[in-house]
Structure 1
């Protein structure tokens, strides 16, 4: 395996590693009732402990990881361009990511995000070398489209009454055999990608453009921005905590009543997640002295971790696989344990100059 390319930003890689906590926990906690069950699973067993973990997931993790990863994806496009990676090489990598996303989504996990990341990246990669002022104009327009998508989602939810609720017994944890599992997963993947193109892609595009602009201005890494970060952290952190705490309380209330319907919250989730993610990222940037180097190797190998998590969930927790039960606390422990194991593995791979398996395939010429 070839060594990783030089001149990466350790803070961005470290943030990518931290974002994976949210991805792993949210996907694990909802896996057995996915793809159409409660967005944060069922409180299992019912009680204070499970409800508390659901609330913690809603407050700190749900809706926070994917916009941060899209932001970091955009920043990575700019940094790759600065390392003289040609547009053709970048597009070749995006085609590979798209192919990987389609295979992953259609065969393994319907909630795949790689497909939408690749499609969104195709829309923004041509702007990698634009001047910052032009990028800012594009970002402002993209934010308008993102707000319109959120507004449309909210309007449709209100119009339909927000009453759709799925039967958890129809989730991945209850599939009868492999044909049943593959059929459920593939159908859900197609539907989710179609909905995502309308309601989700505009949000990801805004996040990627924000990441591109941030990389051009060195918004997270240059000391000249520290004063601005301090101001905005304290402007965004209190309302971000309050609004996301309200969402967390709604999750607990719905779960305690065995009501999996949180349609209104799901409609506005792309907007409220950023209110908390942005100030937390600012805090990380202000205190980025030594800690990023401990997480950077893992952040360079998150694609392999994401795919590994999906495959293991399919084999261990789906009804077609081993069908192991996955209570709320066990889902948290499973996700945290896998994250920690991959962190240790990443340290070992970095010491030997190895990429992760998926990253090595993506980088092939």
Structure 2
């Protein structure tokens, strides 16, 4: 029997949402998606996926997003009316978790809910009244959930275990690259050649939301006077920058090339750079210290050398595998010193170390997709058994 999943998405233009949907479909599931738009919908033309828009939300406007969720609760029955009953509901982030139980109730109840949380919002970590209210809301909306999916062990150790109040089984799904061709999934990356007199190129790809990183990289590139170039690709969170486009346009040796398709464009864009900027100060000391970003896995898959902060989970990941460059601090001065000492020979040793890592560290394979769907299907079987027991108990009473 084919597992049917209803995926509640916080942002339909997020490439990670599309990747999760493709993962589920590759594992054999049928997937319907209902979610919020922030400027587009990457799933609008995805074959075999019903994609419903629940409302519009905006980056950096938390109150507006909560209002959109409240409005969506009132229109949920109408929006879901054309869908078949799901076997499992996956709710991405707290805002869609608030819709999971009413969605399950619309389909008659008994549908297991999975809470997928790949970032810990700063408000969940606040020590004041706002933080306590957010954690209380999370506990309330997750009270009947069957599983928690997250992407970094540091999220579990630093938030979910000690502070969240949730008591759920945890499934760790790292932000690996989805690779559905089984022949390619096992092919190791080749070591990269040094640029032979041309500039070193550092790629900062994906969710571009860290104003501090942009300031560091633009100043660093200016000081290197063309010996290092910075390449930006992805979706800037414009709310986090004073004027992102103007800052990039005014910065020498810094390029921005817009969005890209994941995984279709990864080989080309990572083939264009030598290093991956795997540093994030967006929520410094909190989420940014705990996450394992997409770009870490994307770069690793293509033999690109990561640059990370030693004190973060990303830095520990890099150091434990003896790959990449870990820094105690990411000031322009320390980067200038690092790259003034970068030779072709050193770079080739660094990229060879990345290429030597087993491919499974970077890739979600078709086998992994099937294992995920099987794990979700087990939730459905357990829920069905519980419902049957409850029905028998009701009949006997």
Please tell me the TM-score bracket, short chain as reference.
under 0.3
Which of structures 1 and 2 has the larger relative contact order (alpha carbons within 8 angstroms, sep 6+)?
Answer: 1
Q: Which protein is richer in helix relative to its size?
A: 1
Return the TM-score normalized by structure 2: 0.22
Q: Which protein is richer in strand relative to its size?
A: 2
Return the TM-score normalized by structure 1: 0.23
From the CA coordinates, give the structure whose radius of gyration is larger: 2
